[in-house]
Amino acid sequence: MATWNTAAAVGEREDLSNIIERIDPAETPVFSNAKKQVTKAVYHEWQVQELAAAVDTNYVNEGADFSYVNPTATTRLGNYHQISVQAAQVSGTLDSVDKAGRDKETAYVQLLKGLEQRRDIDKALFKNEAQSASDPRKAGKLLSYMTNVSLISASTTPAGTGADVSDMAGTNAALTLAKIDAAMKAAYSDGGSPDMMVVSPANKVAFSDLSSGSAVTNQLHMTANAPTDAVIVGSVSMYLTDFGTLNVVIDRQAANTEIMLLDTDHYSIGHLPGRLFASHDAGIVGDATRFSIISEWTLIVSAPKAHGAVFDLSTT
């Protein structure tokens, strides 16, 4: 007599895990590292003050009258808010039936849409796009505020006001340490202290491959004035330059054609009150609930000269 087994029997319950695996990454390093601040108008403005250049001839005769020199006027910068929206609708039935991995479908979909919007904003920050007041309004992105740019070829450099961008017309070429160091030096000379080097996955590999020696375990790459060649190891998490230490951060949304050196003290995300990942119920339409996730945000680069960038990379 054949053994009575699961293949013959009827009524075995399904074994569906209550954990939903999500392979798509949700990390947003540039957005997440930005400070968040509440703004009050569609066009947000801020001021940048520069000191007079230092001199080594600051001495006068005893009893002499003073030379009265007023400080330079502040530079007034600004950026527009843009509106990012994710919307969805869930049927009443789907909200009611028993589901694996989540309770209420509406809350679950809202969570997913919030993660998607965070990634959209992070990706937008890398776009070569100037600010625009025309509907739909657009915020000037990071590349439109970069002035300390190491150009590999003949691309233009933005003015750093958010109103224009590089034409990116140069012939792209390979990444070198010299180009990173040149951008870092320019930012440092202008008073900045970049602490985060943002690279795409491909540029992370290209950076790690810039090896002039061999090492296995170090996670720190130093380029100080020394009689021996500098060494980069396979997994570089920090880059110690002559002008400060850079945390090398991989952002999946970053472009292969640029690398940015950001001073995290001098950029932030502004948003109108209650308008950052705000969930709005659009009401019930028929037998479905509609809702939206809305962010009205802008990029605030409080000191454009504090940052650096390398353009015209041919990394693939």
CA atoms of 42 and 81, how far apart (whole Å): 5
Kindly indicate the confidence band of residue 93, based on its pLDDT and cuts at 50, 70 and 90.
confident
Tokens of 296: 């009205």
Which of 236, 239, 267, 256 is CA-nearest to residue 314? 256
pLDDT tens digits, one per residue of 192-233: 999 999 999 999 999 988 854 333 334 554 555 544 444 444
Q: Are 93 and 286 in contact (CB under 8 A)?
A: no
pLDDT grade, residue 26 (50/70/90)? low
Residues 193, 47: Cα–Cα separation, whole Å: 19
Render pLDDT for 116-157 as a digit per residue (tens, 0 to 9): 999 999 999 999 999 999 999 999 999 999 999 998 767 899
What confidence tier does 1 reach under pLDDT thresholds 50, 70, 90? low
Q: Quote the mean pLDDT of the chain.
A: 86
Say which residue, 97 or 304, is predicted with more confidence.
304
Other beta carbons within 10 Å of 154: 10
Q: What pTM was computed for the model?
A: 0.84
